Amino acid sequence: MTKAHDIGLRMVRNAGGEPGFEVIVGGGLGRTPMIGTTVRDFLPVADLLPYVEAVLSVYNTLGRRDNKYKARIKITVHETGKAEISRMIEDRFAELRPLFGGGDQAVLADIRTAFAPPAFRDAPVAAHDAFYRADPVFRSWADTNLAAHRNAQYAIVTISLKAHGQTPGDATSDQMRIIADLAERYGHSDLRISHEQNVILPHVHKSDLPVLHAALVKAGLGTANVGLLSDIIACPGMDYCALATARSIPVAQELATHFEALKLEHDIGPLKIKISGCINACGHHHVGHIGILGLDRAGVENYQITLGGDGTETAVIGEKTGPGFAYDEIVPAIERILRAYLALRTDPGETFLQAYRRVGLGPFKTALYGEIGQKDAA
């Protein structure tokens, strides 16, 4: 998501192996979605504060003040142009850099001590490996919800808050207490909330995974769907939000239950569906592989689809397919898109996004609107 923010800082290493940041400015979603512009390929860590101050200082000088919808860094970068804004930022940075005498680095060193890695345990994992081979329910969860840890005896666990048919991202107070207890017992007391609206236990020893998984299943938290179709980001939508123009949560719930009933989501594979209930784009639909934007068309909910969005380092704003769909048409429309994908992918290893990049919007438009409808839509 670093390319869709006012200022994005992507951690990179330079040719010499030193850590630093790629600095991206002027990204953003909302009513004017834009992918940010890289103004520095490599910024040494020690230059971070003066550089960010230079960006904000230039924006403060140039930023639009006549229209609040245009008072954003993305508008300033777009109107000023990459070459000129980069030059201004570098000039301002050259003025500001000498004012930083190292105090920031001392503070950073202090902060770093608070983020020391936990005391990793050294214990056998053979029992875990045997359990993984023997228990298909555990294996299915482990294959979707775990990520590799730098310590081979450990795993990074994502607890899915996307049980099929539930409100995406919601946990009850009882579930939150259970998650906190599990993090204390098995996760070195570390627990994080992801922007994907799930909970992450960043350090779990593999020998603890079977018992952790059993506890999660018992609490209704064992859903094995991380990164799949039903792992949907949805904004609160009209059910809870005064700005919304359409509902988001029921659309997410129906998509999840619909494809669960069809038993298709594991076959479809990695897929990010993101749903926003208004143009402000809190659900980040522009960078969903499939984005759904709920609008109000003369008092009736209407859902516009975008395809091919990507919020990672290969960021792209999704393309609009054409006319939107009514509330009761949106789930069948998504099914037509995904049936088209299953039919045209080269092999099961080609993800939806890869297939979309290969074939473009055309086949999906045909699947959505038919041959004649495509002409109307164009």
Q: How many angstroms separate the CA atoms of 237 and 295, rounded? A: 10
Q: How many angstroms separate the CA atoms of 197 and 29, rounded? A: 18
60 binding another protein? (CB under 8 A): yes
Interface segment toward another protein; rule CB under 8 A; list 5-13, 73-81, 100-108, 192-200: 100-108
Q: Which of 16, 17, 101, 349 binds another protein (CB under 8 A)?
A: 101
> In sequence order, what DSSP letters do the residues of 198-236 get, joined into one string?
-EEEEEEEGGGHHHHHHHHHHTT-----TTSTT--EE--
107 binding another protein? (CB under 8 A): yes
Q: How many angstroms separate the CA atoms of 176 and 180, rounded? A: 6
At CA 371, angle to CA 369 and CA 376, rounded to 5?
Answer: 65
**What is the token pair recorded at 3?**
């390319």
65 binding another protein? (CB under 8 A): yes
Q: Which of 15, 17, 83, 99 binds another protein (CB under 8 A)?
A: 99
Interface segment toward another protein; rule CB under 8 A; list 92-100, 175-183, 261-269, 355-363: 92-100
**What is the token pair recorded at 64?**
């639009």
153-178 residues labelled b (16+ CB within 10 A) or e (exposed):
ebbbbbbbbbbbebbbbebeeebeeb
Closest separation between CB of residue 39 and another protein, Å?
18
Closest separation between CB of residue 106 and another protein, Å?
8
* Per-residue contact string for residues 168-197; x = within reach of another protein by CB under 8 A: ------------------------------
Residue 261: what are its φ and ψ, rounded to 5°? -65, -35
**What is the token pair recorded at 152?**
């081979």
157 bridge partner residues: 146, 201
Closest separation between CB of residue 53 and another protein, Å?
9
Closest separation between CB of residue 138 and another protein, Å?
48
Closest separation between CB of residue 98 and another protein, Å?
9
102 binding another protein? (CB under 8 A): yes
Q: Which of 9, 49, 264, 377 binds another protein (CB under 8 A)?
A: 49
351 binding another protein? (CB under 8 A): no
Closest separation between CB of residue 279 and another protein, Å?
24
At CA 371, angle to CA 367 and CA 377, rounded to 5?
Answer: 85
104 binding another protein? (CB under 8 A): yes
Interface segment toward another protein; rule CB under 8 A; list 14-22, 56-64, 117-125, 288-296: 56-64
Q: Which residues contact 317 (CB under 8 A, 6 or more apart)?
A: 33, 34, 35, 286, 287, 306, 309
Q: Which of 14, 19, 61, 143 binds another protein (CB under 8 A)?
A: 61
Torsion of CA 140, 146, 148, 152, to 10 degrees: -80
Closest separation between CB of residue 20 and another protein, Å?
19
Based on CB atoms, which residue is closest to another protein, 96 or 156? 96
- Range list of H helices, the chain: 48-62, 73-80, 82-96, 103-113, 126-134, 136-145, 173-186, 209-218, 249-261, 265-268, 330-344, 352-359, 362-377
Owner of token pair 């909330």? 193
Closest separation between CB of residue 355 and another protein, Å?
47
153 binding another protein? (CB under 8 A): no
Number of residues binding to another protein, judged by CB under 8 A = 15
Based on CB atoms, which residue is closest to another protein, 107 or 130? 107
C-alpha closest to that of 316 among 346, 278, 357: 357
Q: Which of 32, 38, 57, 151 binds another protein (CB under 8 A)?
A: 57
Closest separation between CB of residue 75 and another protein, Å?
16
Judged by the rule CB under 8 A, the positions of this chain that interact with another protein are: 49, 57, 60-61, 65, 95-96, 99-104, 106-107
